[in-house]
Amino acid sequence: MNLDFKLLKWQQIVFKDQSRFKVIAAGRRCGKSRLSAVTLLIEGLNCPEGSSVMYVAPTLGQARTIMWDLLMDLGKPVIKSAHINNLEITLVNGKKILIRGADNQDSLRGVSLSYLVMDEVAFIKSEIWERVLRAALSDKKGRAMFISTPSGRNHFYEWFQLGQSGEDADWKSWHFTTADNETIDPKEIEAAKRTLSSFAFGQEYLSSFNNAGAGLFKEEWIKFGDEPDIGSWYIAVDLAGFEDVAKSANATKKRLDQSAIAVVKVTDDGTWFVDKIEAGRWDIQTTALNILKNIREYEPLAVGIERGALKNAVLPYLSDLMRKNNCYAHILDLTHGNKKKVDRIVWALQGRFEHGRVILNAEEDFEEFVDQLLMFPTAQVHDDLPDALSYIDQLAVTSYSIDNDEDDWQALDVVSGY
């Protein structure tokens, strides 16, 4: 047998790794499809009785153009027969490589797989994995490789993060750029850099996940500074919801919503000095305690808490703490004011940031806040911190309360979360 399975350095690193689920973010022309093909052939040759290996691309057309010739080419010595009309390849050991498109869900069902490759998986709906393919791996304890150029911070980013976090021993992830393919002339990459927008180059060649923000907030608007002498303190509290927990009952652990406490000094000319935004997954008591600590430290003119079931849950604890510590604050309802969250955050923050009316405390770490702000609004990127800050808008300007009976906000299930 003369198998040309020479692998590039990065491909070897991934190939040799024993993790059950591998996630690879890699640039265009990095060698993703080539690694997929080699993996499919080797896994097919080692495939246990009664199962197959499968390759899935976003569409059947793509699967055919990317994989068919490549497999025929690389696998010639080990292919017994191949049927282009059903895109199935039978290897010399009688095992099959199935080539499929995620655009035809029915074609993915009813098979037992020992190995699955999902190519350009950032462009395949996550439910194809979660609802359809994961089950196909269960009876043979099959393994899988998820490989793609990034497409913003969607499910692929989440899986990538899971692999980075080490939280789940089954998952491991890697990041490579087009330059990691030694066979590509660096001049070609330089040429692409000159002609593509920095967004496109970052995503396609550097396989960066940091390119999805709609640009509603710009990096150059972020200013740091010192606390102004004169002004009044306000505290806005955004309590974490728990909807996400129920939704993420699958292999991937979504990062959970956080509760956030924004502490801001507002000057006479309306500039906000953001002293800090505290955030965390706190239980009710801890939340109440954290609010109290800030009340004691800052003596704010008002504390706003987002109206709803969570506020109702926290308030008795907070009242109790205020009484015991003889430390009181004016607690106001914060409301969504009939605005969608995106609009609310943009209305409250965009103009202020753009005109330099928001100063972040130079002595605090705002990395996560800035990240959330620049990525806003992007599905799968949290916005708890900008959300909490945006509520200061309601505290610092209104002396009346907005009456919004038509609030489209849904009550959260407090009990399930704690």
Smallest gap from Cβ 305 to ligand ADP, in A, equals 49
Counting Cβ atoms within 10 Å, is residue 364 exposed (0-12), middle (13-18) or buried (19+)?
middle
- Count, residues in the chain: 418
Among 8, 26, 30, 33, binds Mg ion (CB under 5 A): 33
Report if residue 175 touches ligand ADP, rule: CB under 6 A.
no
Among 6, 187, 194, 247, binds ligand ADP (CB under 6 A): 6
How far is 39 from 11, CA to CA, in rounded Å?
A: 10
Report if residue 32 touches ligand ADP, rule: CB under 6 A.
yes
Single-letter amino acid code for the residue at 389: L
Q: Which stretch binds ligand ADP (CB under 6 A): 7-15, 284-292, 314-322, 407-415?
A: 7-15
Smallest gap from Cβ 66 to ligand ADP, in A, equals 7
H or E segment to which residue 165 belongs: helix 155-165
How far is 145 from 55, CA to CA, in rounded Å?
A: 10
Report if residue 161 touches Mg ion, rule: CB under 5 A.
no
Listed in order, strand segments (DSSP E) in 127-266 are 143-148, 171-176, 224-225, 232-238, 259-266
Please give the biggest Cα pair distance in the chain.
Answer: 83
Among 10, 22, 24, 34, binds ligand ADP (CB under 6 A): 34
Residues 137 and 128 sit within 8 Å (Cβ to Cβ): no
Residue closer to ligand ADP, measured from CB, 127 or 182? 182
Smallest gap from Cβ 121 to ligand ADP, in A, equals 12
H or E segment to which residue 353 belongs: helix 341-354
Among 85, 86, 183, 326, binds ligand ADP (CB under 6 A): 183
Site for Mg ion, residues 13 to 32, rule: CB under 5 A? 32
How far is 380 from 159, CA to CA, in rounded Å?
A: 11
Smallest gap from Cβ 26 to ligand ADP, in A, equals 6
Partner from ligand ADP, Mg ion, none contacting 311, C-beta within 5 to 8 A by type = none
Contact positions vs ligand ADP (CB under 6 A): 6-8, 11, 26, 28-34, 181, 183
Contact positions vs Mg ion (CB under 5 A): 32-33
